[in-house]
Structure 1
Amino acid sequence: MFAGSFQAAGDSWLLYTDVMWAKISTDADFGPFGGTADFEQTQIVATALVGYELPVNVANMQLYATGGLRYQHNKVELGIDPVFFPAIDRSGSQSWADPIVGLTMHYDVNSKWFVDVMADVGGFGVASDITLQGTATVGYNWTDTLASSLGYKALYTDYEDGGFQYDATQHGVFTRLAVKF
């Protein structure tokens, strides 16, 4: 899996994008009579947001209302090669894009420690019935230009088109290295 993001903020505006690429695969043997099965799934999730800073009366906090798009692509390949029957190879892919709205918050606890929280909701039946994402991180400013953080991210999507159905939650811990300029 690979993930990366870019964020630019200034003059009350925020631009944010992130991309995640993941690949899972497995294979299996059928036992004493032979035969194999292979499965592989590749996924790309990309989010692009623009935000505008909301007025808040909390020192050291910036809060942005955001709007944008989330693109998702899934590709699956399945191969079954039994000994006594013809082999089966199937593959398929599905792509869609959803409008999303949300909030992004940055809070400086002090000059070294900070908290970032991001949440959005989308889909609204345009492509997905619903897509939800939430991220929370605690970070540390090592210098004026270098920071790192530890966070947790969750992404839920409920999408259906014809015979294709994708109803999944992905979540986990991540680390981030930020270079500020």
Structure 2
Amino acid sequence: MWASGLKGNISPFRPGPTVPIEKGFSEVMEDLNFGGFLNVWARRDKIVVSGDMMFVNTTNSKAGNLPALPGIPAGIPVSGDVDTKEFMLTLQAGYRFYDTPEVTLDGLAGARYWHVSNELTVNALGQSRSYKESFDWFDPLVGIRGFARINDRWSAQGQADIGGFGVGSDMTWSVLATVNYVLTDRASLSVGYRVLDVDYDDDGHVFDTRMKGPVIGATWRF
């Protein structure tokens, strides 16, 4: 579970304005329909691979009255919903260049894919109108991952990457740091913190956001 807040500037529709957004985790949860976050690691000898997937579906609802417009009287009640689906997939592969029983370091390279879809539905005077738009992009990445064993039960690990470089977004980066406790030979629990930042601006679409917050999870090793 990633208890993430959201801050930045977005323009979900090409004809629309760029608007600032700032929501804490509790506000995100109020709008949340479904969300999931999964991180997978695999290693064979010195070769390592990493997969990181996130999906979030939120609905933001507003209601109010229209001001006086030509041909439309003031006070007409209007309600609207913005349904947003956000999908992110990161795939990386690399090499374990430092390997001891206490500390390991992995160098990584790969790509991050983003897909953002927004649907606006407006209801007024007994009628409903909808407008939908989506956009996506790829970002090349380079990264590093480190693991340090504290004792038989406790360990710490950190993972960071940076990319974009104007290929998809102008810049994107992420950092994940956790402290882990071993329950069994296969199972462990983790707590930590994650930050994911992306600055995308292309063809009228703007997605310049930073998501950050605490992480709690369980790991199964096989």
1:46 equivalent in alignment to 2:80: no
TM-score, normalised to structure 2's length? 0.76
Aligned equivalents of 2:50, 2:124: Cα separation in 1? 48
- Corresponding residue for residue 28 of structure 1: 62
Identify which range, 59-68 or 134-143, moves more after superposition. 59-68
* Equivalent residue letter for 2:213: G
Aligned equivalents of 1:108, 1:37: Cα separation in 2? 52
Aligned-pair identity (%): 28
- Corresponding residue for residue 72 of structure 1: 114
Alignment partner of 1:10 out of 28, 44, 58: 44
- 1:21-58 per-residue CA deviation (whole Å, 9 max, x = no partner) reads 001112122156422111111100111111211237x7
Aligned equivalents of 1:94, 1:111: Cα separation in 2? 47
Question: Could you tell me how far 1:87 is from its partner in structure 2?
Answer: 4.9
Aligned equivalents of 2:168, 2:62: Cα separation in 1? 34
Aligned equivalents of 1:145, 1:165: Cα separation in 2? 42
Alignment partner of 1:148 out of 176, 182, 189: 189
Alignment partner of 1:103 out of 131, 141, 144: 144
Higher relative contact order (CA 8 A, sep 6+): 2
Question: Could you tell me how far 1:116 is from its partner in structure 2?
Answer: 1.1
- 1:113-161 per-residue CA deviation (whole Å, 9 max, x = no partner) reads 0111000000011111101011000110111111110121111111111
1:62 equivalent in alignment to 2:104: yes
Unaligned stretches of 5+ in structure 2?
1-34, 66-74
Aligned equivalents of 2:192, 2:151: Cα separation in 1? 18
* Equivalent residue letter for 1:161: D
* Equivalent residue letter for 1:46: L
1:171 equivalent in alignment to 2:212: yes
Question: Could you tell me how far 1:88 is from its partner in structure 2?
Answer: 4.1
Aligned equivalents of 1:55, 1:106: Cα separation in 2? 10
- Corresponding residue for residue 158 of structure 2: 117
Question: Could you tell me how far 1:4 is from its partner in structure 2?
Answer: 1.0
TM-score, normalised to structure 1's length? 0.92
Identify which range, 20-29 or 114-123, moves more after superposition. 20-29
Question: Could you tell me how far 1:10 is from its partner in structure 2?
Answer: 3.3
Q: Secondary structure at the match of 1:110?
A: coil
- Corresponding residue for residue 93 of structure 1: 134
Aligned equivalents of 1:127, 1:133: Cα separation in 2? 16
Aligned equivalents of 1:18, 1:145: Cα separation in 2? 20
